[in-house]
Structure 1
Amino acid sequence: MNRLPLAALLSALLLVVAGCSAPVVNPPEDTADSGAWPADPPSDRLGWEGGYWHNESIAVDQSDGLNATEREAFVARTMARVEVIRELEFTEPVPVEVISRAEYRNESRNQSNLVHADWNDQVWEALLLVGENRTIQQVFDELYGGSVLGYYAPQEDQIVLISNDGNPTINRRTLAHELLHALQDQHFGLDAAPPTQDKQLANNGLVEGDARYVDSLYEERCAADWECVPRPDGSGAGSGSFDYPVFLTIYTPYSEGPTFVSDLHERGGWEAVNAAYENRPVSTEQVLHPSTYPDERPVEVTIEDRSSAAWTRYDHDPVGDTVGEASIFTTFWKHAAIDREKLRDDPGAYSTYNYTAGPAAGWAGDLVVPYRPASDAEADANPHARGYVWKTVWDTNTDARQFESAYLTRTLKLRLGAKQVAENTYVIEDGTFADAYRVTRQGDTVTIVNAPTVEELDEVHARE
C-alpha cells in the first residue's frame, strides 16, 4: 500500500447531490408492480446479473442484518443496476466479504518499510500538515479506522464491507461505489499506483470520481424510479476524531473527481470516460480544473543535491515527491492563509468542496526531497533531526509571489510564529514545526529549505 490508500473513504461528510439523470436500459418491461418477472436471458447481458434484473424487486430486510441469501440478491441486483448506469458489463462475479470495524483496524496496520515511513513523514511535514509530534501513519490509522465503510481490494478481486456490529448491514451507496471499482478493475485495471502523491490523487480523481459519480446517479434513480433497500438507522461510518486538513487532502478525489468525470461524460458520454483510463490525469490541477485535461501537464522539477557529507538523501525510489495543487491548497486552508469559509462556496456539480484558491492556483510543478543525517547512529538517536528541500514552480512570476506571500507571511510568520534571523532565513522556536527555514524566490520558482538549525540549512542544501 502506498502513501495514499486506495480504499474508498465514504465518511459522514458524504453528501447526496442531484444533477444528471442516468441512461435507462430496459431489457424486460418494468414489471416491478406486477410481480411477474421475465425468464433469465439465454446469456449474460447488460442490466442482468446473478439471476436478477436491475428493476426486479428483492426480498431483503436489513432490520435484523442480512443473511447469505439476502446478501446474494442485494449484491446481484446492485451489480445489474451499476451496469445500467455505467453501460459496462461485469465479466466476472464479485465476492463480497463483511468484516467488523475492529477487524478492519487490525488488518490495516501499516506494512510499509521504515525508510518509506520516515521519508513520507518529511513530505507531510514539508506541507506543514503533520508535525513532529505524530507520524502520517498514525494520522491515517485514526482517519481510516473510523471512517471507511468499505473498499475494493484489486489483489483479491473482492469487496470488503465494514460493519459496526455482529449483524452486518450494507449501505446501498457504498455497495454501488465498490462494485463500480470492481467493474473498473475488470475493464481497465486498478493495480498500478503512480509514484507521487499528486499523481496518486489525480489518478484517484478519475477512479474515485467515476465511482462517486455513478453512486450519485444510483441514488438519484432510487429517489426517482427504483425500489431500493433502505439502510437501517445507526449503520455507517465509525466515530472518532481525525485530522481534518489531512482528510481534506486525501478526500480530494472523492470531492473533485465526480465533477471531473461528469465533465468528461458531458464532453463525450461514457466513451470519453473510458478513454480517460488510457490517458489518466497526471496532476490534481487537471482534476480541479477539468478544462486543463489532458493538454496542460506539469513541468518536471529537479533539485540538485548540494548537501554536505553530514546529510544525505533517503535510499528511496523516487528520491522526492510531488505534492501538487490540492495538497498545497489544504496547507493554506489549515493555517487560514486563505478564506476558509470559501471551502464550501461554488463547488462543482457533483463536488462537496471547492479546492481552488489563488495561492495554490497557477501551480506548474513541484518536488520535495527529504534529507536525513548521513550517520545512521545520529539519525536513530534523534528521529526529528531531518530536513527537506521543496522547490515549487508556477505559471507566472505573479503566481510565485502569491504562493510565497501565503507561505511566508500568512503561514510561517503569522500562524506559526517564525522570526526572521537572517536574509531569507526564519526560525520557528516552539511547536511541532519548530525548525529553521530558508525561503527564496527567483522569478517563477520558490525554494524552501528546512533543517533543525540555521547552521544546518547550508548543510542540507548549500546556497548557490
Structure 2
Amino acid sequence: MVDLLPEQVAGYYDPDSNALYVAADVDSPLVRTTVSHELVHALQDQYMNLDSVMQQRRQNDRRSAAQAILEGQATLGQILVLMPEQSGIPLPSFWETRRVFRAQMASMKEFAHAPLWLRESVIFPYLAGADFVRWYDTRHPGHQPFGAAMPLSTEQILHPDRYAAGDAPVDLAFAPAAGRTVRYEDDLGEFETRLLFEQLLGDTAEAQAPALASGWGGDRYQVITTGGGEVLVWYSVWDDAAARDRFVAGLRRAWRPKPGRSSLVEPLLVAGHPGARLVDAPAAWTGWRAIPAVTVAR
C-alpha cells in the first residue's frame, strides 16, 4: 500500500486546509488532469463535509459507495475538461472499461504487483462511480447525489436500477459481545463479495463472481480473538432463496480453511430473510455451540 500510493497519486485536495496539492515531479500534461479532478473535490466540499463522509466507522460498504460518488463525479469532470466533445457520448460500462484500464495500469510496477483486491479497490470508485454518476445525471439533471440522495451501498452503484427502486441494504447487527473479544467488525458489500470470489476462485472467477454476489442484501462480520487463535463469523442476507443458495454453493466451493482450522458455510434465516453464515475457526475452538448471532438493525 505504501509503495503503491506514490505511483498512483499525482495530487490531492485536503478538506482540512482547503488546499490542493500537486506532486512536484508530475509531468505538465498530467498537472491539468490532476487539477481538474481535484477541483471537483473542492467543489464537493462546498456541499458536504468530505471528511465526515469518508470517515464513517465500521460502514465499509456505505463508505465505498460514497467514495464512488465523489471519485466518479471528479472523473467525469476531468474528462469533460480535457475532452469536452465527450459530453454527449455514453461511457462504456464499468466492467468493460475496467479491463482496458487494468491493462494500462499493468505497466505500473507497484500496481501490477499489488494484490488483486487492492488493484480492483483502486479502480472501482473512479470507473464504477463515473458510470453511476452519468446514469444519475441523465435521470436527475441539475441535481446532485448528495445528502439523502447518496447511494447506500456498492450494490446500488453497480445496479442503478436497484438504487432507483429504493432497494436499501439490510443492516445487520451482532448481539452484544458478552464473553468474547471482538478484534474487528465491519461489512463487505456486493462489490467486495465479488472481489472475494475473484480472489478465491482465481482465473475462472471473473465470469462467475458477479453471479455469485448478485442478490446481495446485506452482510456483517466479526473477527473474534480467542486463546487458540482468531475466529471469523460472517453473516449475509439475500434478496431471495435462489440468490442465497447460489452464494452458499459458490462459497462452499471456494473457501478452503488453512491447516489447523475448520470452517462451516450454511444457509439459514436471519429475521425472516434468506441468509448464510460462514464460520472459520481454529480446529480446537470450543464455541461451535454458541456462535455469535445477528439481528436486523432496522
Report the CA distance shift for 1:340/1:216 in structure 2 as closer, same or farther (over 3 A).
farther
Whole-Å separation in 2 of the counterparts to 1:364 and 1:184: 29
Work out whether residues 283 and 298 of structure 1, in 8 Å CA contact, stay in contact via their aligned partners in 2.
yes
Work out whether residues 69 and 145 of structure 2, in 8 Å CA contact, stay in contact via their aligned partners in 1.
no
Residue of structure 1 aligned with 2:201, choices 302, 325, 336: 336
Instruction: Give the structure-2-normalised TM-score.
Output: 0.78
Report the CA distance shift for 1:277/1:176 in structure 2 as closer, same or farther (over 3 A).
farther
2:65 matched to which residue of 1?
A: 202
Work out whether residues 219 and 237 of structure 2, in 8 Å CA contact, stay in contact via their aligned partners in 1.
yes
1:364 matched to which residue of 2?
A: 217
Deviation (angstroms), 1:299: 0.8
Whole-Å separation in 2 of the counterparts to 1:255 and 1:223: 16
Alignment of 1:70-85 (within 5 A): none
1:296 matched to which residue of 2?
A: 167
Counterpart of 1:461, as a letter, is I
**1:358 counterpart SS class:** helix
Count of residue pairs the alignment pairs up: 265
Residue of structure 2 aligned with 1:436, choices 254, 262, 271: 262
Whole-Å separation in 2 of the counterparts to 1:142 and 1:452: 33
2:117 matched to which residue of 1?
A: 245
Work out whether residues 220 and 236 of structure 2, in 8 Å CA contact, stay in contact via their aligned partners in 1.
yes
Work out whether residues 371 and 460 of structure 1, in 8 Å CA contact, stay in contact via their aligned partners in 2.
no
**2:279 counterpart SS class:** strand
Residue of structure 2 aligned with 1:153, choices 4, 8, 14: 14
Counterpart of 1:206, as a letter, is I
Whole-Å separation in 2 of the counterparts to 1:160 and 1:456: 53
**2:168 counterpart SS class:** coil
Deviation (angstroms), 1:339: 4.4
Deviation (angstroms), 1:249: 2.7
1:73 matched to which residue of 2?
A: none
Counterpart of 1:437, as a letter, is S
Whole-Å separation in 2 of the counterparts to 1:161 and 1:325: 34
Question: Alignment RMSD, CA only?
Answer: 3.1
Structure 1 unaligned regions, length at least 5: 1-139, 225-236, 344-355, 413-417, 419-426
**1:335 counterpart SS class:** helix
Report the CA distance shift for 1:388/1:340 in structure 2 as closer, same or farther (over 3 A).
closer
1:268 matched to which residue of 2?
A: 140
Work out whether residues 143 and 247 of structure 1, in 8 Å CA contact, stay in contact via their aligned partners in 2.
no
Counterpart of 1:186, as a letter, is Q
Counterpart of 1:155, as a letter, is D
Cα-to-partner distance string for 1:378-426 (whole Å, 9 max, x where unaligned): 6xxx8xx2222110000011111111111111x12xxxxx3xxxxxxxx
Work out whether residues 320 and 368 of structure 1, in 8 Å CA contact, stay in contact via their aligned partners in 2.
yes
Report the CA distance shift for 1:407/1:223 in structure 2 as closer, same or farther (over 3 A).
closer
Work out whether residues 338 and 357 of structure 1, in 8 Å CA contact, stay in contact via their aligned partners in 2.
no
**1:141 counterpart SS class:** coil
Instruction: Give the structure-1-normalised TM-score.
Output: 0.52
Deviation (angstroms), 1:305: 5.2
2:75 matched to which residue of 1?
A: 212
Deviation (angstroms), 1:181: 0.4
Query: Is the aligned partner of 1:176 residue 2:47?
Result: no
1:450 matched to which residue of 2?
A: 280
Q: Report the structure, 1 or 2, having the larger strand content.
A: 2
Structure 2 unaligned regions, length at least 5: 88-106, 294-298
Deviation (angstroms), 1:180: 0.6
Deviation (angstroms), 1:359: 0.6
Whole-Å separation in 2 of the counterparts to 1:248 and 1:172: 25
**2:72 counterpart SS class:** helix
Whole-Å separation in 2 of the counterparts to 1:146 and 1:339: 29
Cα-to-partner distance string for 1:6-58 (whole Å, 9 max, x where unaligned): xxxxxxxxxxxxxxxxxxxxxxxxxxxxxxxxxxxxxxxxxxxxxxxxxxxxx
Report the CA distance shift for 1:337/1:168 in structure 2 as closer, same or farther (over 3 A).
closer
Whole-Å separation in 1 of the counterparts to 2:70 and 2:290: 38
1:54 matched to which residue of 2?
A: none
Work out whether residues 440 and 447 of structure 1, in 8 Å CA contact, stay in contact via their aligned partners in 2.
yes
Counterpart of 2:114, as a letter, is F
Q: Report the structure, 1 or 2, having the larger helix content.
A: 2
Query: Is the aligned partner of 1:283 residue 2:153?
Result: yes
Whole-Å separation in 2 of the counterparts to 1:223 and 1:209: 15
Segment drifting more, 260-269 vs 446-455: 446-455
Work out whether residues 367 and 391 of structure 1, in 8 Å CA contact, stay in contact via their aligned partners in 2.
yes
Whole-Å separation in 1 of the counterparts to 2:77 and 2:43: 12
**2:83 counterpart SS class:** helix
2:185 matched to which residue of 1?
A: 320
Deviation (angstroms), 1:222: 7.8
Whole-Å separation in 2 of the counterparts to 1:143 and 1:342: 27
**1:245 counterpart SS class:** helix
Whole-Å separation in 1 of the counterparts to 2:292 and 2:185: 18
Whole-Å separation in 2 of the counterparts to 1:438 and 1:340: 21
